[in-house]
Structure 1
Amino acid sequence: MSTPGVHIVVYPYPTAGHIIPILDLTQRLLTRGLTVTVLVTTNNLPLLDPYISSHPSSLNHLVLPAPDIAPPQQNRFLANMRALRDLHYPILLQWFQSHSSPPVAILSDFFLGWTHHLACELGVPRLVFSPSGAFGMSVAFSMCRDPPKNDDPENIDFLVSLPRIPSSPVYPWWQVPQQYRVGVEGDPDWEFYKKNMLANTASWGLVFNSFTELERVYFDHLKREVGHDRVWAVGPVLPPDDGDLEQPANRGGAISVPCHEVMSWLESRPVNSVVYVCFGSHAVLNSKQMDVVAAALEVSGVQFIMCVGEPAGQQQHASDDHGVIPGGFEDRVDGRGLVIKGWAPQVAILRHRAVGAFLTHCGWNSVLEGIAAGVVMLTWPMGAEQFTNSRLLVEQLGVGIPVGGGRQNIPESTELARLLGISVGGGRPERVRAKELSDAALTAGRGGSSHQALDEIAKLLADYRK
């Protein structure tokens, strides 16, 4: 369907892992005839380039100043959330009110809950975009409404139960995201975070980069939680799998190795024989974790591609322990291992028939990319909602093999090597289930539940404008 003339604002949280999926969603809205203005800070402007070139007349952007967070900050994440609101709210209010054809709705990231209040002041609907899944959002809402408490603060294995959520998940204290462990009633940062997240439940609609068949029970739960049915699963929002490597390769930034070189390396490998190893754009392995991963890859004998992230500037501290690839490792695995330092063409790699397994930190973008590609997932969550995502993959979807957890549960290299070995090839029940979910993801986007949800959103926005 097409809805020409409907103008909306898209406001990502300004980090790559949040910007990329909301831009992929924007692409789908543009194909339905909407006009979109993306709000972006200068340093993230290059991420827009491939989308602008595809939709030069209907995709606009407004450059906003980036907040200046002076170190040291006890919690830079919360400080950044507050600074974005303080800096951008008055700018956006004035921009909307002076615009000759103001947008009819705001679609903004779930870390920008304060835009609900901006939308109310402007008299337009606000749609929440969640780059995380419905299970992860269910946990976040529960922990904001009823913050977890540790009756034995010295015990990091103290169990926290969430009985209101389907499957009643129980977490050891060390797996509870940091903001809930350190949050204190009355603390301004914690109170801001809590109100910011709960504003999402009061917003007009929620849009998830997920698909109904993946998390149906949690979508039903969230509809009960917010009291309406304007909760949509529109994912996976990924570049089309049409054989064109250019779009997935350029998605998210400049890659450090040309995509065609990586694809050529994979072409000579048998089907499902390669393990792809990547812990995301933010998680940087410490020395022990890196040594275990490298040793396991070396002794396992498996073919692999390993993406090694560089610590971002804001994450570097003198006390941080950043692991480095052991000396001589690349020479010792030459011929069966490819090491990529920096950004990798992850979607293109996972889609290649030679890749059979994915050792991942379980960030939601990686989870969806792995599911869409139909690979077995070796799960090693590091923080945030990643422990919840790992549970979904292992316990509920049956496509994951747990290998570790953060810094508290680092596997022995021999055990990790064994798991790497059994994850590739045929015969694993996880591989059968992965193929089923991959087919379901494809169907959802090609005329199925996610396609229909996007049509419904576009129609409702057009009707709202009238």
Structure 2
Amino acid sequence: MTPSRKPLHVLAYPFPSSGHIIPLLDLAKRIVSRRVYVTVLITPPNLPLLQPLLLSHAPFLQPLLLPDPHQKRLFPLVSSMRHLHHPFLLSWVQSHPSPPVAIISDFFLGWTRHLARDLSIPRLVFSPSGAFALSFSYSLWRHLPVNPDPGSATSLISFSNIPNSPVYPWWQINRHYRENKKGDPEWDFHRENMLDNIASWGIVFNTFSELEQVYLNHMKTDLGHDRVWAVGPVLPPRDGDDGGSADRGGSSSVPCHDLMTWLDSRPDCSVIYVCFGSRTVLTSSQMEVLTTALEVSGVQFILSVRGPDERHVGQDVGVISEDFEERVRGRGLVIRGWSPQLAILGHRAVGSFLTHCGWNSVLEGLVPGVVMVTWPMGADQYTNAKLIVDELGAGLRAAEGITENVPEATELSEVIKRSLQENSTQRARAKELKKAALEAVAPEGSSQKELDALVKHFFELGDL
């Protein structure tokens, strides 16, 4: 009689922010659907994001509650996570009846490469950015370019070792890189984290081959191995299980049913959806430009804005004027706080998406095939906007940065109107990318095959 195989078990360790947790949970759902047990390492404040999945995916999906670091800023948060969680996880794994064969951890958690070494298992990076953006980050922190004109924020920095040789003005380079210098603890921390990512066993991207093939190929060449998997877009079906897209990540100030009813009464591709993600707060001047542009444009819109939290104390935070909603009543809706973004973008009435170009938002706009209007403000967003507008041809550039390249309201209103044109080249390209994205996650699609290959590696590790 053949002895029964031990349950195959992997760890999934997200960075404790909703924009990082949600896509890794989406990946975990796909892994457990292939009969692999996944333990999600999560802190108590973020457990509600996981809770809806536990019943529908038990016993294959389980949480492990980690001590809460009680930190907000990136450097203190990740340092505290390492200090608190490394010994905790060593002890937990060593006493587990079915120890994990691998750990998949967020891009920000480079230190888990050392945890994986101590556990004698491989560490895979989960990238919340696309392959183009991560190629840029790896090149930046490995090769350490300098500003040729230290007094200028507009000096151009070329990355000729990356396909298509992207060029950026100095002010668009990662803030942690620009503002600190070697020897500074935070600068050294970010570089060490990136080098640990580069040296890790493999990497999993929430992207798909047809979208970023040239950068995926570059990543394999740059890393010197083929353990690079593109398994995205890892998004739930619009009306699928686990609540589908309506309450993904939170609840809205406007009920999803009311939003869908409002959209139902609008013509196809007549509405622009405006949202800058779960963390970005607009300044007063940005908010004034945006709301004036929406009003002047005359188009129908949904505007989702988030309010400040403790991170924004003392900062300039834009608010919507009291009479704005009254002036646009009938053609504009304002959502304060979280919005059901997938449900909105998937509605036939929505034709374009004004976005900060966070990678989650990029994918959520690509899948329904809307035209994207780009306004990046930091991190990987400039690279994502460059990909959308310059390489994919599926979007229009609206603005860049907080103050650097912000247009007048009348100019922005023209871009908004153009984004809803019926026969534009951008709309045609967006439809092509929608088709490619859906084919990638179909049963025989490229992303499904990549995920099968990844899980096959897990089973091979389990047999060692």
Distance in 1 of aligned mates of 2:31 and 2:99 = 17
State yes or no: 1:89 paired with 2:86: yes
Per-residue Cα deviation, 1:292-312 (whole angstroms, up to 9, x for no partner) = 000000011100000011223
Distance in 1 of aligned mates of 2:213 and 2:309 = 36
Deviates more, 1:77-86 or 1:443-452: 77-86
Of 182, 193, 197, which aligns to 1:196?
193
Which residue of 2 is the match for residue 73 of structure 1? none
State yes or no: 1:270 paired with 2:267: yes
Offset of 1:183 from its aligned partner?
3.2
Of 370, 373, 378, which aligns to 2:373?
378
Distance 1:30 1:115, change over 3 A: same
Offset of 1:39 from its aligned partner?
0.5
Which residue of 1 is the match for residue 419 of structure 2? 423
Q: Which amino acid aligns with 1:44?
A: N
Distance 1:370 1:411, change over 3 A: same
Which residue of 1 is the match for residue 44 of structure 2? 42
Distance in 2 of aligned mates of 1:243 and 1:156 = 47
Deviates more, 1:345-354 or 1:422-431: 422-431
> What does 1:3-402 correspond to in 2, within 5 Å?
5-69=7-71, 76-242=73-239, 246-313=243-310, 315-318=311-314, 320-402=315-397
Distance in 2 of aligned mates of 1:69 and 1:243 = 35
Distance in 2 of aligned mates of 1:44 and 1:90 = 21
Gaps (5+ residues) in structure 2?
A: none
Q: Is the 8 A contact 1:85 1:114 kept in 2?
A: yes
Offset of 1:267 from its aligned partner?
0.2
Distance in 1 of aligned mates of 2:448 and 2:145 = 37
Distance 1:9 1:322, change over 3 A: same
**Matched residue pairs, number?**
457
Per-residue Cα deviation, 1:416-460 (whole angstroms, up to 9, x for no partner) = 111111111411100000000000000000121100011111111
Q: Which amino acid aligns with 1:412?
A: E
Offset of 1:256 from its aligned partner?
2.0
Give the SS at the match of 2:334: strand
Which residue of 1 is the match for residue 434 of structure 2? 438
Give the SS at the match of 1:154: coil
Q: Is the 8 A contact 2:105 2:124 kept in 1?
A: yes
Distance in 2 of aligned mates of 1:46 and 1:85 = 23
Offset of 1:255 from its aligned partner?
2.1
Q: Is the 8 A contact 1:382 1:405 kept in 2?
A: yes
Q: Is the 8 A contact 1:79 1:189 kept in 2?
A: no
Distance 1:356 1:243, change over 3 A: farther
Per-residue Cα deviation, 1:12-32 (whole angstroms, up to 9, x for no partner) = 000000000000111111111
Deviates more, 1:180-189 or 1:18-27: 180-189
Give the SS at the match of 1:111: coil
Distance in 1 of aligned mates of 2:85 and 2:239 = 39
Q: Is the 8 A contact 1:248 1:345 kept in 2?
A: yes
Distance in 2 of aligned mates of 1:311 and 1:54 = 34
Give the SS at the match of 2:367: helix
Give the SS at the match of 2:245: helix
Offset of 1:245 from its aligned partner?
9.8
Give the SS at the match of 2:307: coil
Distance in 1 of aligned mates of 2:396 and 2:53 = 36
Offset of 1:4 from its aligned partner?
8.3
Distance 1:262 1:4, change over 3 A: farther
Distance in 2 of aligned mates of 1:220 and 1:263 = 41
Q: Is the 8 A contact 2:305 2:334 kept in 1?
A: yes
Distance 1:358 1:19, change over 3 A: same
Q: Is the 8 A contact 1:4 1:35 kept in 2?
A: no
Distance in 1 of aligned mates of 2:186 and 2:205 = 26
Q: Is the 8 A contact 2:174 2:378 kept in 1?
A: yes
Which residue of 2 is the match for residue 411 of structure 1? 407
Offset of 1:185 from its aligned partner?
1.4
Distance 1:61 1:244, change over 3 A: closer
Q: Is the 8 A contact 2:56 2:242 kept in 1?
A: no
Give the SS at the match of 1:324: coil
Give the SS at the match of 2:244: helix
Distance in 2 of aligned mates of 1:79 and 1:369 = 31
Q: Which amino acid aligns with 1:129?
A: F
CA RMSD of aligned residues (A): 1.4
Give the SS at the match of 2:10: strand
Give the SS at the match of 1:249: coil
Distance in 2 of aligned mates of 1:229 and 1:461 = 15
Offset of 1:180 from its aligned partner?
1.1
Deviates more, 1:406-415 or 1:188-197: 188-197
Gaps (5+ residues) in structure 1?
A: 71-75
Distance in 1 of aligned mates of 2:350 and 2:322 = 26
Q: Which amino acid aligns with 1:361?
A: H
Distance in 1 of aligned mates of 2:6 and 2:380 = 37
Q: Which amino acid aligns with 2:246?
A: A
User: Normalized against structure 2, the TM-score is what?
Assistant: 0.96
User: Normalized against structure 1, the TM-score is what?
Assistant: 0.96
Q: Which amino acid aligns with 1:249?
A: A
